[in-house]
Amino acid sequence: MTSVIVSSPYVAQGSTLKRLMIQVIIALLPGTIAYAWYFGPGVIINICLAVLLALAFEAGILKLRAKPVMPHLTDFSAVVAAWLFALCLPMHIPWWLVLVGIGFTMVAGKHLYGGLGFNPFNPAMVGYVVLLISFPREMTTWYLPNSVSGETLSLKEALAYTFGGADIQQWDALSSATPLDQVKTAVAQGITVAEIRLSPVFGEYAGKGWEWIAFWWFIGGLWLLATRTIRWHIPVALLAAVIAMSLLFYLINPETYTSPLFHLLSGAVVIGAFFIATDPVTAATTDTGRIYYGLLIGCLIYVIRVWGGYPDGIAFAVLLANMCVPLIDYYTQPRVYGEK
């Protein structure tokens, strides 16, 4: 009987990396479907395109780096990164922008640092921010949900736009700024929040359509918590920080500051809290550290939204917090057994 010496433990328990990623994809489904429901098929096109490109990039780079391709390709981490990246994009965007963004996500965001596990910055946010800074006009042209405009682009029209470079003017009537954007510009012009809220893009609590998408992200987040794919510290701390900040300023002056509910349900707060900030590779690793990390992102989101140059701040907030992670980890090391 010949034996190969391998080291104990000889059991494995719990999810593998691949299972974790599949859980994330499952959790993304309800929100993604809601997104497509309210805003048309553009988002699905973006996701498919981004995922395919990401897989192609991943395979190519792994090959160049002489790493095993299939095991890494099938761990689905590239799929998740591409999916999250695509969700940040406007619903309709030319294909080459997706290519550029995914290129940055996979190359600069992930593999230049050594691949999964070594990247200090959230790759999807890296790709998104590069696009946002380089192509501000394309990246901030959003479309109205069908509940406002009564129609969305059909699949054919959306495809034509993404790949054929169809004239954007044609659908200009449907394009608009996001509710967050509108609030920002309006407040800057001295219009009160109550007046802005009369605009048809607003629903019960926040932007029409947006509020329901946020709800479905929340359901997905609960799924992640229930399957122990993520832990509660980051989302709870992040949401708490956003609520606390917005409540504080709302109480000070409800004329110029929107309500906590509006902040929670607009833009990417919920998806950010459960899906983006919880990327384990780039987040803090200790329990206390994760609370600080979540709080930091929450505060930064609010600051950027209200006083910064961009309508929404998730991407910048996450990247800034990523920079603080080594520091947070260092100062929140748990006490070792037997130490005073």
Partner 1 sequence: MPELHHFHGGLVLDGHKTESLARGLQQASLTERLFLPLRQHIGDHNKPRVEIGDRVLKGQVIASDSALICAAVHAPTSGTISAIEDYPVAHPSGKMDTCIIIEVDGDDKAVEPIPVDLDNLNPDEMIELICRAGIVGLGGAVFPTSPKLSRGKAQGIDTLIINGVECEPYITCDDILMRFNAAEVISGSGYLQRILAPRTTYIAIEDNKPEAIAAMAKALAEHPLAGTEIVSIPTIYPSGGEKQLVQILTGKEVPHGQLALDIGVFCQNVGTCAAITHALEKDEPLISRVVTISGDNIAQPGNWEVRLGTPISHLIELAGGYRYGASGQLVMGGSMMGFALSGSKVPIVKATNCIMVMREETIPKSPGYHDECIRCGKCTEVCPAQLLPQQLYWHARAGAYERTQEFHLFDCIECGCCSTVCPSRIPLVQYYRAAKSEIRAAQKAQFKSDRARLRFEFREKRLQLKKQQDEERRRLKREALQKKKAGAGNGKSIEDPVQAALDRVKARKKNAQEDSQ
Write out the residues near partner 1 by the rule CB under 8 A. 1-17, 19-20, 68, 71-72, 75, 77, 115-118, 231, 280-281, 283, 285-287, 290, 333-340
Query: Closest CB to partner 1 among 21 and 54?
Result: 21
Query: Closest CB to partner 1 among 21 and 49?
Result: 21
Rounded Cα gap, residues 106 and 127, in angstroms: 8
Q: How far is the CB of 292 from partner 1 (least distance, A)?
A: 14
Q: How far is the CB of 333 from partner 1 (least distance, A)?
A: 6
Closest CA to 263 of 207, 189, 191, 212: 207
**DSSP element (H, E) containing 137:** helix 136-139
Q: How far is the CB of 59 from partner 1 (least distance, A)?
A: 16
Q: How far is the CB of 338 from partner 1 (least distance, A)?
A: 4
Closest CA to 149 of 31, 226, 40: 40
Q: How far is the CB of 116 from partner 1 (least distance, A)?
A: 6
* Structure token pair of residue 176: 């608009």
State the virtual CA torsion across 85, 89, 95, 97 in degrees, nearest 10: -80
Rounded Cα gap, residues 238 and 300, in angstroms: 10
Q: How far is the CB of 32 from partner 1 (least distance, A)?
A: 23
Query: What residues form DSSP beta bridges with 176?
Result: 142
Assess contact for 27 and 224: CB atoms under 8 A: yes
Half-sphere exposure of 88 (CA within 13 A, CB side): 32
Assess contact for 264 and 214: CB atoms under 8 A: yes
Query: Closest CB to partner 1 among 7 and 169?
Result: 7
Q: How far is the CB of 224 from partner 1 (least distance, A)?
A: 12
Exposure string of 14-47, with b = 16+ CB inside 10 Å and e = fewer, is eeeeeebbbbbeebbebbbebbbbbbbbbbbbbb
Assess contact for 55 and 73: CB atoms under 8 A: yes
Q: How far is the CB of 11 from partner 1 (least distance, A)?
A: 5
DSSP 110: T
Rounded Cα gap, residues 31 and 178, in angstroms: 18
DSSP 229: S
Query: What residues form DSSP beta bridges with 325?
Result: none
Query: Closest CB to partner 1 among 195 and 287?
Result: 287
